[in-house]
Every structure is written in structure tokens, then in C-alpha cells.
Chain A
Amino acid sequence: MSDDTDGQLRRILADVLGLKAEHVAAFDAETGLFGHLPELDSMSVAGLLTEMEDRLGFIIDDDEIDGELLETYGSLLAFAEVKRAAAG
């Protein structure tokens, strides 16, 4: 399941931010997202979260959205994996 979430999350980032698949494939856990990727601004954050909900099958509460969530690829993936496990 975790590999699946990883692959889907990379695809979502590529789709929402208009990034090339090779660029997104090179992300590791330490890769910075918000504040590091010029494509990821506050407008695209809304699209990113909604797309994660639709494709990964969970709902993100308003109070779960904070600076740390989008700090690195690793933190976003960890969040998605926990949410998916909880959604069962």
C-alpha cells in the first residue's frame, strides 16, 4: 500500500503543478515543497489537497493543513499514508 500511495502522490504532484514525471520521480523524503517549488503557491495547495482526497480516498480537515504538512515530500507522504490507513 505504501508504494502505491507514493506513486499516486507523485502523479498528483506532477498533474497539479505541471511538473515533468522525471522531476517528481527524483523527489526524496527531504525534498522541500512549499517555499521550494515555485509552482506550489497557496492557490495550488487547495487543488493539491482536493486531488489527494479524490484519488487517495480520504477527507482532509481544515485544521490538519499547516506549514509542516507541505514542508517536505516526506512529510506529505507520511500524512497521506496515515490518512489512507485510517480510512481503511
Chain B
Amino acid sequence: MIASWPCPASHGDTASEFAQVFDSDRAHRLLIIPALFDEANRLRRLTVEVMRRLNLAGIDSFLPDLPGCNESLQPLEQLSLADWQGAMVAAARHFRATHVLAIRGGALVVPQSLPGWRYAPVNGATILRQMLRMRILASREAGRDETQGSLLEAGLAEGLELAGYRLAPAMIATLQDATPPQSSQSIIGQDMIGGSPLWLRAEPDEDREQADALAAVLAMGITL
């Protein structure tokens, strides 16, 4: 089901954002912070499959759009990681989350006050390097020579389009230095899930066994 939630926007306004939800007003309520940028597309299927399994296990779950991504109408080119962090805190409050799961770069914007998990958390610099490289390789095929250094410099001054996402100077600056914050949230490594990481695949894929394993870790942690 799709629900909407009020998200803080610029100048003290509120924007209406969407979330994919399984909400039966149950006691256990898991907020899921999606992976960032193109990784979110590659992991969306796994994420929703995990939500389906949690629903059957009696757990509500909520997957909000990050402002400027997916169905969101907010201008991504004006946002930074701090805006996403504020948005996820607002989503946690609106959906009355009792737990949180942050996926990959979602760990950079996770509300730290909630108990929960981080699945394969990653530094902002790694995400940025990967997207810069995709752009450099694509440009090279088109006969244009770009370097990470020159792209970063331009991006920090004027913003930059990477992997189809228009990133603000503030987004690039905050990504460069962002590491998942210290917290008591547990880390779920790929070794606990088995199989090979789906965010690495160039094409979105799914894996039933991985969804089973991830849902089992979460369901046991939430209901025990």
C-alpha cells in the first residue's frame, strides 16, 4: 500500500511524500531507510520482498521516499544529506516507528534514537566515487575526457549530475565526509544473508533466499 507523510521542506514548508507501507496498526513498526541513488533501484525488489515477509510475521513496515528521489517532487538539486536525515526523523515520527533498518547508504541518514539494524552500511565517499566513475566511463565512451578531480571541483561549486541524479554542491560536500554515525544499531553483513550482494549488479535482480534471511534476522530481533 502507498501512504503519504508530511516531510519538512525548505523555508519551513511541508511537502507531502510517499511511502510504501504494510500498516495494520500493529505494535511492531519498522521504518526502512532505502539505499541511496542507483543502489536503491537495484535493492528495491529485495526491500519490498522483506517487507512482505515481515507483514506475514506480524510486523508493520514503512519504506519512505527520500526527498528528491523516486516519486518525490522536491528538487533534489537543492538538498543535502542533512535534509534527508531530517526527513527520515519526520517519517519515523509520523509512522510511529519502533525500530529502523537502514540499507547501505541509508545508514548515513538513519534516525539514531531508534533501535535497529544497518544492512551493509557504506561511507558516502565510496558511493560518490562509484558514481563519479560511472560518469567518467560513460563520458569516455562519448569521447569526452573527465577526471574525478575536475568533476568534484565543478560539483562542489555548481552541483553535478551523476547517474541521472542532480546533486547539489551541499549534497556532494556532505557525501564526501559522511560515515555511518556511532550507534547501538547492529550491523548485518552480507555473510549473515548469504549469496552475492544485489547492489553490485548492473541490472536490478532479486533473490528469495536473501529476502528470507534478512526478514528472519529482523523478525527475530523485533519480536523476541
In contact, A42 and B196 (Cβ under 8 angstroms):
no
Which of A15, A41, A54 is in CB contact (< 8 Å) with B126? A54
* Binary interface encoding of chain B residues 105-147 relative to chain A, with 1 for a CB under 8 A from any of its CBs, else 0: 0000000000000000000001001100110111001000001
Q: How long is the Cα–Cα vector from A12 to B157 in the complex, in angstroms?
A: 35
Q: How long is the Cα–Cα vector from A15 to B197 in the complex, in angstroms?
A: 6
B8 → chain A closest CB, angstroms: 33
Residue of A nearest to B207 (CB): A18
Task: Report, as a range, how many residues of chain B touch the other chain.
Answer: 10 to 19
**In the assembled complex, which residues on chain B have CB atoms less than 8 Å from the CB atom of A51?**
200
In contact, A62 and B136 (Cβ under 8 angstroms):
yes
Residue of A nearest to B205 (CB): A18
Which of B129, B196, B200, B202 is in CB contact (< 8 Å) with A41? B202
Q: How long is the Cα–Cα vector from A54 to B133 in the complex, in angstroms?
A: 14
**In the assembled complex, which residues on chain A have CB atoms less than 8 Å from the CB atom of B202?**
16-17, 39, 41, 43-44, 47
In contact, B133 and A18 (Cβ under 8 angstroms):
no
Judge if A49 is at the interface, Cβ distance under 8 Å: yes
Task: Report, as a range, how many residues of chain A touch the other chain.
Answer: 20 to 34
In contact, A14 and B196 (Cβ under 8 angstroms):
yes
B→A interface (CB under 8 Å): 126, 129-130, 133-134, 136-138, 141, 147-148, 196-197, 200-202, 205
In contact, A47 and B200 (Cβ under 8 angstroms):
yes
Judge if A25 is at the interface, Cβ distance under 8 Å: no
Q: How long is the Cα–Cα vector from A65 to B134 in the complex, in angstroms?
A: 12
Which of A15, A42, A45, A53 is in CB contact (< 8 Å) with B200? A15
In contact, A49 and B133 (Cβ under 8 angstroms):
yes
Q: How long is the Cα–Cα vector from A56 to B52 in the complex, in angstroms?
A: 36
Residue of B nearest to A21 (CB): B196
Given contacts A15-B197, A54-B126, 15 further A-B contacts (CB under 8 A): A16-B200, A17-B201, A39-B202, A42-B137, A42-B138, A42-B141, A43-B134, A43-B202, A45-B137, A46-B134, A47-B202, A50-B133, A62-B133, A62-B148, A65-B137
Q: Which of A32-46 contact B (CB under 8 A)?
A: 39, 41-46
Q: How long is the Cα–Cα vector from A45 to B134 in the complex, in angstroms?
A: 8
Knowing A43-B202, A44-B202, A50-B129, say if A15 contacts B134 (CB, 8 Å).
no
